[in-house]
């Protein structure tokens, strides 16, 4: 990881840690499929940081670099960044593509949890 992300509340995961950290995690996990070169990914990062700290008791947020983790990217057919995937008890619940505001993102997450 590059040093300038040290302020982030979001832990990075990899192809090797995806299964235990996401699929093996009880409860809610939001995974940010991101890339260093992607401007919308940089735009949404502060939104995800805020959500990670506000929902720290109920939602775990991870990021995975799509360039460095091709296995997971292929498995979940990630075609663009940022792609956000919400998992509940290891099962994918929601996939969102593209940056959005914190209000919109939380509304979409909460709507998916009500279904």
Residues forming the active site: 38, 41
Residue 27 has φ and ψ, to the nearest 5°, of: 95, -155
Nearest to 86 by CA among 53, 54, 51, 50: 51
For residue 66, give both structure tokens: 């799509």
Three-state DSSP state, 76: coil
Nearest to 49 by CA among 14, 6, 15, 85: 6
């Amino acid at each position: 990881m590059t040093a300038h992300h040290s302020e982030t509340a979001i832990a990075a995961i990899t192809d090797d840690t995806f299964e235990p950290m996401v699929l093996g995690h009880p409860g809610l996990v939001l995974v940010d499929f991101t890339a260093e070169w992607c401007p919308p990914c940089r735009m949404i990062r502060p939104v995800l940081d805020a959500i990670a700290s506000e929902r720290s008791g109920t939602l775990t947020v991870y990021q995975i670099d799509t360039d460095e983790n091709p296995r997971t990217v292929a498995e979940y057919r990630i075609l663009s960044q940022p792609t956000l995937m919400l998992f509940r008890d290891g099962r994918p619940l929601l996939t969102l593509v593209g940056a959005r505001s914190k209000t919109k993102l939380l509304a979409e997450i909460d709507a998916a949890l009500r279904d």
